[in-house]
Structure 1
């Protein structure tokens, strides 16, 4: 299939080649510190940003992860090293981004980088963009998923642990993944959504299947233990796989511990293996799982239901939508659209209408979602 075949090519001939230069000492390098001041999903996306910029500038990525807030021993204690031969930079001298022709460059976090690298999401390499547009409904999600797949290769101990965990919890498809983010998100970055809202989407997914499974399975992940208890009490007809202990380690007071890291890796891994995902895209953990899900299917861009945001990549370069059908407002909360207008998408009401800002008129309001398209941002990455 396209996804698996293309991934093998990228991993073997592109990502591997980039990360394993013939001579590490003379190779051009990009230094990235994983310790961005945010949670796991945010830090992983920061690493993706570092990697695609390294890829776009033809540099080997050197990851600085010792003293990582989630695991003091660093990235390699959980995942495979990003390189077999070039995992450190012996040079003491380096320059800050962009560095132009300098040998070693340090990349700041995406919030502070200037000028903005053209290679960061939502850019897709030009040499695969045409094929991607034919075979995948959301190319940038596919591309980010492939990068994540390479970066998050579990080391032997983590791989064995996940294999045993899968047997222990009897993880069997078909199954729907639910991710409920509460604690520090609700009231700040996201609104509260009751368990019933998630289960309604699960029911709709199962009801639409041509062949009904004997057991309706759910893999439920949350950072609040009582969510799991409520779901099991209210929905006894569903087989709900969930771990209260993992939810407890995801609490704010215990989040940056080895147990918490183990728990969030479990959650993301099994959420990505589900056939459908119900979550809130305001959560970066949810988006990581959705991105990784693409690597298990030819096209899984529509295998989700988000209760709040549309998909986006945090810190992404500007990426306006393009109007493909004119729209005349019929209600005061709607805005006018003309073909080829650029629209900054601000949200999706999931009822057929989206909210956005027309960059031509400056007006903010609602419009039918089908009247815009998400253009692919195509950039010439280096040839390997």
Structure 2
């Protein structure tokens, strides 16, 4: 939905959610049950026969249908991780990761809560002492992810980085800080394990939400309410420890940008770097040359472009040097972001 919203803004069109009752697999209810309507236009304003598949930004057809981002042909350059050149100077001055901040505004608007969802979120937030000292948000996704996209990470790995963050805050503030975490997970056993192994931590979170996230109940109303609640509660935490292979954590991180401003550094991912599914190539530019020290590394020349595949979180990243096409490891500090600063006509009059 967020990428559709960006494309609508790119081509100055109105975004309409089509037939969400039948096609929205997350629940038997409609979009408006949990979120506010996207706009005033809806399905009644056009006929199905009018819909023409997306073919590019210059299309003149009245109604254009968008597929999931992975199936999008002639992908426009404005797709994430791009951000507008018209406001790039301001974004680069005030945010450490402008693409995240930019897309977060679209996601925040789409996720404006309905009255029912606002009530649910209010009850959940009332159980967590967000304004009474720092809380680290931990998101642990297992079940289906372990079969397709990610590896198993023990609770101890999450808690290692959680404790690391708390100790840094104590050094900065020269005072003891009460240990508190909010846990969002699809594994109900995580709550019991964390409380038993880390008795000095106060653990918040709802195990019933984890129960609804099981594969046999994931696409139900209660599961939908639960995952939205988890995302919103994660966004209210002071720091996130998670796996960015999970979209739940990435969305919590994105919404955190709206609440905090520059929260680009307030996370530790146990696996992926931040990405937006279906994004344009994430590239860096080399600022220090590098001669490979073993067969796993690649050569870097100043000014080379590197398509980054991931950060190994040990001082090295993996990527492909566009200059010679070789893929391998390289010292992360020898490159910097090559931001995708793109023209967005929508912002011309700002």
Q: TM-score, normalised by structure 1?
A: 0.85
Q: Following the alignment from structure 2 to structure 1, what is the Cα–Cα distance between the partners of residues 46 and 184?
A: 43
Spell out structure 1 runs of 4+ moving beyond 6 A.
none
1:12-161 alignment runs, 5 A limit: 47-64=1-18, 65-67=20-22, 68-83=24-39, 85-92=40-47, 93-98=50-55, 100-161=59-120
For residues 238-258 of structure 1, what are the alpha-carbon distances to aligned partners after superposition, in whole Å with 9 as ceiling and x for unaligned?
011021111111011110001
Could you say if the C-alpha distance between residues 362 and 140 of structure 1 is closer, same or farther in structure 2, counting changes exceeding 3 Å? Answer: same
Residue pair 1:162, 1:266 contacting (<8 A) in 2 also: yes
1:143-292 alignment runs, 5 A limit: 143-172=102-131, 173-209=133-169, 210-211=172-173, 212-292=175-255
Residue pair 1:348, 1:355 contacting (<8 A) in 2 also: yes
Q: Following the alignment from structure 2 to structure 1, what is the Cα–Cα distance between the partners of residues 206 and 315?
A: 35
Q: Following the alignment from structure 1 to structure 2, what is the Cα–Cα distance between the partners of residues 170 and 50?
A: 36
Q: How far off is 1:272 after superposition? A: 0.6
For residues 147-184 of structure 1, what are the alpha-carbon distances to aligned partners after superposition, in whole Å with 9 as ceiling and x for unaligned?
11111000122112211221134444410000001001
Q: Structure 2 unaligned segments of length 5 or more: list them.
A: none
Q: RMSD of aligned C-alpha atoms?
A: 1.4
Residue pair 2:130, 2:236 contacting (<8 A) in 1 also: no
Q: Following the alignment from structure 2 to structure 1, what is the Cα–Cα distance between the partners of residues 127 and 236?
A: 16
Q: Following the alignment from structure 2 to structure 1, what is the Cα–Cα distance between the partners of residues 228 and 165?
A: 25
Q: Following the alignment from structure 2 to structure 1, what is the Cα–Cα distance between the partners of residues 41 and 295?
A: 59
Q: How far off is 1:89 after superposition? A: 4.9
Name 1:30's counterpart in structure 2.
Answer: none
For residues 313-354 of structure 1, what are the alpha-carbon distances to aligned partners after superposition, in whole Å with 9 as ceiling and x for unaligned?
110112322111111122332211001111111111111111
Q: Structure 1 unaligned segments of length 5 or more: list them.
A: 1-46
Number of aligned residue pairs: 337
Give 1:376's match in structure 2, choosing from 325, 333, 339: 339
For residues 119-140 of structure 1, what are the alpha-carbon distances to aligned partners after superposition, in whole Å with 9 as ceiling and x for unaligned?
2111112211111011111110
Name 1:33's counterpart in structure 2.
Answer: none
Could you say if the C-alpha distance between residues 307 and 132 of structure 1 is closer, same or farther in structure 2, counting changes exceeding 3 Å? Answer: same
3-state SS of paired residue (1:312): coil
Could you say if the C-alpha distance between residues 87 and 242 of structure 1 is closer, same or farther in structure 2, counting changes exceeding 3 Å? Answer: same
Q: TM-score, normalised by structure 2?
A: 0.93
Q: How far off is 1:302 after superposition? A: 0.6
Q: How far off is 1:356 after superposition? A: 1.2
Residue pair 1:223, 1:251 contacting (<8 A) in 2 also: yes
